[in-house]
Structure 1
Amino acid sequence: MMDILGAIGGIAGVVSTILFVIFRNSAQKYVDEKAKNLATIEDTARITTEVEKVKTGYLLRSHAWKQIFEKEYALLKEVWNSTWEFQATARSLRPIMDHLPEDTDKQREVFIERHKVFADSVKNFRDVVIKNKPFIPPRVYEICLALREIVVELQVDFEISFNDDQRADWRKIHECGKKLSNFRLGLCMSSFFL
């Protein structure tokens, strides 16, 4: 019986050793898998935090870019309107098909009114274009200055002929009109290719 008990004890020892090895390997795999899952959860949390930081940064930059674009667009729209008014009032100083009253005093009143409207557009042009130079694309600003040079030619001719209609240089006025037409095309193209 002792032999049987010894054999059972030996078998039990071998079985318990085998079970211990199996349990230890299983326990190790379980612990390794748990650690891996925990690491994955921590990595996921860290990755999610990083993604949210990037997303928040992008949204902030996107909002800032939108604000900048809206401000630039508003300024360029103002520049466009100002230059349009500026050239239109310059043309209206001495229109090609000018219908003036016969009376020289009434003609003078018409000229004074035209000059007043023109002077207002000059002030508006200066306020919008010249004062905002740092915020206007250089090519657009250059074209606006070219417009100013053309308009000065018309203004000088108008002021010279203010008291004497016979001194108006209609050829020069016509040339300035062509230049103004080219100016509008140039401004359209420069704003298109910003």
Structure 2
Amino acid sequence: MADMLRLERRDCHGDLSLNLPELSISLRKNTGIGMVQKSQPVSDDQVIAFNKEASFSLPLQSCRVVKDEQGGEICSISPTMWFVQTDYEKINSYIQQINTLGHDRSIIATNMSDQIVCLEVSGTRAIEFFSKGCSLDFRKNTFPVGHSARSLLGQANVVFNHIDVNKYHLLLDISLLDYLWKWMRETSLEFTFG
């Protein structure tokens, strides 16, 4: 009988963090990320019914991010797709709940923790930093706290979640992390001189 293959999550990126005047960038460690999708056309009523049974809510509006009572973040990046972000140890309970309650509603979830990573960018100069490689308008009246958007940053596809005043979580494919980190390091050089 063949031995079972045991996969183990490893952090091979070391310490990815930059702390500059009024700007901080870091890789969020031990983050679990799940992707939730509507596998077939699902009405808002079905999502509302799901939300009543679940211990958290999927935002009905696109481009929104909400926090739940357990500290998880749920962002709606399209009418048919959400990302759930929480501690790595908790992500499987979210996914199990979604797949159990969403099964009859064609709502499914997949653990993407080994494919998607989260960078946290915070500080009063975050918007200025983003403007060096992204065309989104991050001013508070057009991209307020609680909003989410997908765009390019330094030519890398990123989901921006505006979590708090001057605080953003960026979700991206792990294959782009080294490239984007290099771009961020190089771009941040001008911020070291105030």
Tell me the TM-score normalized by structure 1.
0.24
Higher fraction of helix: 1
Tell me which structure has the larger Cα radius of gyration. 1
Tell me the TM-score normalized by structure 2.
0.24
